[in-house]
Amino acid sequence: MMLLEMAASGYADRAAFIDAEAGTSITYQQLFGAAGVAAKAVQLSGASRLAMLDVSSLATPIGLFASGWAGVPYVPLNYRLTDEEIAGLLGRIKPVKLVTEPHRMPEFESATDVIAQTRNDFLESARSGGDVADPWSMDPEETAVLLFTSGTTGAPKAAVLRHKHLVSYILGSVEFMSAEEDDAALVCVPPYHVAGIAAMLSSVYAGRRVVQLANFTAPSWIELARTEKITTAFVVPTMLVRIIDALEGEAPLPHLQSLAYGGGRMPLSIIKRAMELMPDTDFSNAYGLTETSSTITVLGPEEHRAAVDSTEAEVQRRLVSVGVALPGIEVEIRDEAGRLLQAGERGEIYVRGEQVSGEYEGRGSVIDDDGWFPTRDAGFLDPEGYLFLDGRADDVIVRGGENFSPGEIEDVLLEHDAVADVAVAGVASEQWGEVVIAAVVLQGEATVEELQVWVKDHLRSSRVPERIQFWDELPYTETGKLLRRVVKARFL
């Protein structure tokens, strides 16, 4: 709330958020007031959390700040989950005030401890100018946000982000009121994605208008980028693929100064093509996790260009890295025994910093005694400190006593002209323990044998996928994550 209070003080009448689909907008001062009114309603309801089960709208920032003001955690929920899954999550956060879509309301009519309200009702009363809640607590230890992370096994874990983590992240990466009057950010990631929350907070603190696109399609994204003269945006890689597809042969986007991406692996051919199509746009690759309040390492625009312009393989390779750690963040690579590894050695990525939470509701913190958080992501550092990702540590394939990651095989297959996208995984084998399989999306002609020979020639025979299937597309979440377990399941 301190961030919003400063914003409302510094640039009260600037447009803060614009809901492009609804055609509505709100200024910083109005947002501040609405947050106060909504906070009072939350407090009166007796709810212990404010949950939002809806696409992005003006209710999203109002809900985020209102919950901070009211002193309860903000819990954006994934609306793509099944009714049963949603009911399960709600059960864990009761008594909860829930803001949601009209068609879901009947479900909650008789629900105990779920005080449901439609988004429009929430908006109307928040903006009606009633009494605001009492002053907010300034306790940085209070939980600001609860984000359920999708687990591959068992129930989703609720990652805890406290005010201190979020404020630390924002103050470490944004200067107050640093945005120009004309700056505009396009947010099209779902509200339950930590990057969306980070984007809202940083835009508020910078004084940069946020234009919300609730339902992403490449044509509407491009249209909005033009009409709203968007200067900065964040997308997940799967969105960028569609955007550049739709931009081929079209006029450029002259206002787009910077485009950041993250949340999943960016294929080399895609980022190269994007840089060719938008040479005046600064690209940044941001790596981070929900548990680290989003971004911890960045590959900035100069580094993108340096990699493309370089003739040295070492520098060129950095285009597929996720860059170097942000100030205040430390990154280490460790093996399974927890031993520190050297540059070039692959292991698990550990991170330390003020913005890192690593805490889950009901489970405590997984941070070790020295403050290090195990990301469960595999990767390695190059001698200059550039971080390269190598899939999840859990995705390691164990074949004939050898451990290797799907990433190295995927990287190699992506170098083949006919391969547009690929997912590699291990499936059980009596003989080997596990064998390698691959699901390939083609953009040309290739046979299974050709691709197998390709892998053998570029890596070695133990890495060759025993089975390859050709699919039209790979399964991704809305936040851009590859669903490797879905791929595996289809090979059984």
Partner 1 sequence: MLHKSLEKSGAGFALPRQATLGSCPVERDLGVRTSPRAGRSLYTHHSDDREGMKVGLKVGQRLKSMVCSTEIMVITAPDGEIQLTCGGAQMTDGEGNGEGDSVHPDHASGSTIGKRYVSKVGDLEILCVKPGEGSLAVGDVALNLKDAKKLPKTD
**Which residues are at the interface with partner 1 (CB under 8 A)?**
1-2, 5-6, 8-10, 32, 36, 132, 135-141, 164, 167-168, 171-178, 185, 195, 198-199, 202-203, 232, 234, 258, 260, 282, 284, 286, 294-295, 298, 300-301, 326, 354, 367, 370-371
Find the shortest distance in angstroms from Cβ 291 to partner 1.
Answer: 16
How far from each other are the two terminal CA atoms of the chain, in whole angstroms? 50
Rounded Cα distance, 422 and 443, in Å: 11
Find the shortest distance in angstroms from Cβ 168 to partner 1.
Answer: 7
Within 304-429, strands assigned E span 324-325, 330-334, 347-352, 359-360, 364-365, 373-381, 387-392, 397-399, 402-404, 419-429
188: left (phi over 0), alpha (psi -120 to 50) or beta: alpha
Pick the closer one to partner 1 by CB: 120 or 258: 258
Pick the closer one to partner 1 by CB: 295 or 477: 295
Query: Closest Cα partner for 165 from 376, 351, 386?
Result: 351
Find the shortest distance in angstroms from Cβ 294 to partner 1.
Answer: 7
Pick the closer one to partner 1 by CB: 288 or 407: 288
Pick the closer one to partner 1 by CB: 59 or 256: 256
Pick the closer one to partner 1 by CB: 135 or 444: 135
The first and second tokens of residue 240, run together, are 């960028």
Find the shortest distance in angstroms from Cβ 296 to partner 1.
Answer: 9
Rounded Cα distance, 325 and 339, in Å: 20
- In sequence order, what are the residues at sequence separation of 6 or more whose Cβ sits closer than 8 angstroms to the Cβ of residue 413? 419, 422, 424, 438, 440, 451, 454, 455
3-state secondary structure of 232: strand
Find the shortest distance in angstroms from Cβ 13 to partner 1.
Answer: 13
Rounded Cα distance, 302 and 357, in Å: 30
Find the shortest distance in angstroms from Cβ 238 to partner 1.
Answer: 18
Rounded Cα distance, 63 and 77, in Å: 13
CA 158 to each of CA 46, 256, 363, 466: distance values in angstroms, whole numbers, following the listed order = 21, 35, 9, 37
* Other CB atoms within 10 A of residue 437 CB: 23
Query: Is there a cis peptide before residue 95, judged by omega within 30 degrees of 0?
Result: yes
Pick the closer one to partner 1 by CB: 354 or 408: 354
Find the shortest distance in angstroms from Cβ 284 to partner 1.
Answer: 5
Find the shortest distance in angstroms from Cβ 371 to partner 1.
Answer: 5
Pick the closer one to partner 1 by CB: 156 or 371: 371
The first and second tokens of residue 256, run together, are 């787009």
Beta bridge partners of 149: 157
Pick the closer one to partner 1 by CB: 140 or 156: 140
**DSSP secondary structure letters along 166-214:** HHHHHHHH--TT-S-TT-EEEE-S-TTSHHHHHHHHHHHHHT-EEEE-S
Find the shortest distance in angstroms from Cβ 175 to partner 1.
Answer: 5
Q: What letters, b where the CB count within 10 A reaches 16 and e where it falls short, cover 87-116?
A: eebbebbbebbbbbeeebeebbeeeeebbb
Sheet holding 387-392, edge to edge: 330-334, 347-352, 373-381, 387-392
Find the shortest distance in angstroms from Cβ 421 to partner 1.
Answer: 25
Pick the closer one to partner 1 by CB: 135 or 249: 135
Find the shortest distance in angstroms from Cβ 133 to partner 1.
Answer: 9
Pick the closer one to partner 1 by CB: 173 or 477: 173
Pick the closer one to partner 1 by CB: 108 or 136: 136
